[in-house]
């Protein structure tokens, strides 16, 4: 399908048109911070904002969601399952890293047995990606083979001189652009050229990023598990970890969850919430926990991303280099420092 375009100043009209047939999620400011939220008249897209605090995963895998309702009366029990999402929606403004994050979650939630709540949202959701405007020094998506200039999803787009150039990549994406054909316009050769130039300029920046030299050497499915697990450096890497869940909750690929209950007095709701392997009670059983120290919990998180996940999912890593944890960890410990310390020989010089 040919490329389409729309002026940045007309984006609100695009959102308004899309919202006639579906919900539109985009990064929305709330008390100084951006997170994905439904579009309302008056809201527009801010390309200068690189990251939402929580990644776009929250649209497909919300921090908290009801699964089942129970009613108990005497010996009897009634079980009713929460209906999965059935409304169409589009999530606008996702960058390449977060789009790749969806793929990381897909491998977990869409493999057998399929998670029907996640699957329903994936089926009803259309991903409208935008190439990031100005990568930060904390960005390292390239380390994981992500092409930031081709952000992917169902529709991908590029901003150049106040114009958004977009192209559909899937049937869903084509349907979405068809639904707004009255608002978007065709792109001539000059436009195609402008889109190509903005991509090229972006690529030049990506190559200059301070973390451009970071590689996955020493990790992944081919790395030996036990030697990596037993590296003595885990102790110093984890020594200051506060055991909070910030890295987990801002991460686009962390997918661990807890299932809990809430008794409303009338019924018992079973809901799912994000959980963090950094928390002391994550593996706590009546008989104790196999990870009593923060070092073990810290190691679990990074081994999962760099070794266990690749082992289980064909070598793919469970990190997309978005850099949120670099920006948000209260003590500035993060996956890059772990990779520098434990990675292939060339990393250890740094």
Q: Which of residues 32-71 bind another protein (CB under 8 A)?
A: 32-33, 35, 48, 50, 53-54, 63-64, 67-68, 70
Residue closer to another protein (CB basis): 145 or 210: 210
Site for another protein in 193-252 (CB under 8 A): 205, 208-211, 225-226, 229-230, 236, 239-240, 242-246, 248-250
The strand order across the sheet containing 64-73 reads: 76-81, 64-73, 268-274, 257-263
CB of 101 to another protein, least distance (A): 16
Q: Does 340 sit near another protein (CB under 8 A)?
A: yes
From candidates 38, 145, 331, 346, binder to another protein by CB under 8 A: 331
- The CB-of-328 to another protein minimum distance in angstroms stands at 4
Among 197, 262, 344, 346, binds another protein (CB under 8 A): 262
Distance, in Å, from the CA atom of 177 to the CA atom of 285, rounded to the nearest integer, reads: 51
Whole-Å CA distances, 94 to 47, 76, 129, 178:
11, 47, 4, 20
Nearer to another protein, 187 or 336 (CB): 336
Question: Cβ(48)–Cβ(134) under 8 Å?
Answer: yes
Binding mask 88-127 for another protein (x = CB under 8 A): --------------------xx---xxxxx--x-------
Among residue numbers 12 through 31, which ones bind another protein (CB under 8 A)?
30-31
User: Should residue 284 be labelled a site residue for another protein when binding is judged by CB under 8 A?
Assistant: yes
Q: Which two tokens stand for residue 197?
A: 């130039």
Residue among 287, 314, 345, 349 that touches another protein (CB under 8 A): 287
From the list 237, 253, 223, 249, the residue with the least C-alpha distance to 141 is 253
When asked if residue 273 is in the footprint of another protein (CB under 8 A), the reply is yes
d(CA 284, CA 216): 32
| Contact (Cβ atoms closer than 8 angstroms) between residue 82 and residue 66 | yes
Which two structure tokens, joined as six digits, stand for 219? Answer: 């990790």
Residue range at the interface with another protein (CB under 8 A); choices 2-10, 145-153, 195-203, 264-272:
264-272
Site for another protein in 159-198 (CB under 8 A): none
Residue placing its CB nearer to another protein in the complex, 189 or 207 = 207
Closest alpha carbon to 63 in 325, 326, 258, 278: 258
Farthest CA pair distance, the chain: 73
Angstrom distance (rounded) from CA 221 to CA 151? 25
Q: Which is nearer to another protein, 6 or 228 (CB)?
A: 228
């Amino acid at each position: 399908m040919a490329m389409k375009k729309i002026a940045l100043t007309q984006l609100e009209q695009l959102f308004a048109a899309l919202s006639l047939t579906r919900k539109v999620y985009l990064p929305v400011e709330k008390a100084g911070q951006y997170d994905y939220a439904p579009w309302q008249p008056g809201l527009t897209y801010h390309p200068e904002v690189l990251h939402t605090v929580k990644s776009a995963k929250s649209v497909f895998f919300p921090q908290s969601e009801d699964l089942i309702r129970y009613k108990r009366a005497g010996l009897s029990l009634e079980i009713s399952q929460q209906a999965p999402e059935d409304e169409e929606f589009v999530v606008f403004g996702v960058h390449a890293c977060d789009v790749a994050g969806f793929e990381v979650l897909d491998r977990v939630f869409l493999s057998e047995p399929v998670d029907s709540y996640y699957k329903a949202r994936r089926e009803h959701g259309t991903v409208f990606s935008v190439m990031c405007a100005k990568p930060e020094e904390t960005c390292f998506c390239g380390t994981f083979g992500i092409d930031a200039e081709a952000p992917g999803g169902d529709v991908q787009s590029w901003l150049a001189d106040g114009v958004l150039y977009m192209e559909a990549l899937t049937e869903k994406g084509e349907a979405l652009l068809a639904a707004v054909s009255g608002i978007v316009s065709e792109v001539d050769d000059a436009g195609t050229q402008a889109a190509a130039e903005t991509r090229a300029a972006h690529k030049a920046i990506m190559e200059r990023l301070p973390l451009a030299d970071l590689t996955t050497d020493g990790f992944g499915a081919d790395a030996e598990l036990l030697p990596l697990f037993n590296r003595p450096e885990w102790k110093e890497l984890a020594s200051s970890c506060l055991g909070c869940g910030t890295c987990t909750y801002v991460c686009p690929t962390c997918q661990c969850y807890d299932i809990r209950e809430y008794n409303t007095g009338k019924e018992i709701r079973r809901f799912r919430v994000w959980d963090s392997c950094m928390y002391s009670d994550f593996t706590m059983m009546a008989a104790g926990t196999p990870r009593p120290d923060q070092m073990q919990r810290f190691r679990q998180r990074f081994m999962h991303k760099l070794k266990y996940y690749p082992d289980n999912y064909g070598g793919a890593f469970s990190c997309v280099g978005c850099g949120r944890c670099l920006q948000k960890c209260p003590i500035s410990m993060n996956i890059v420092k772990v990779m520098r310390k434990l990675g292939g020989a060339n990393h250890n010089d740094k």
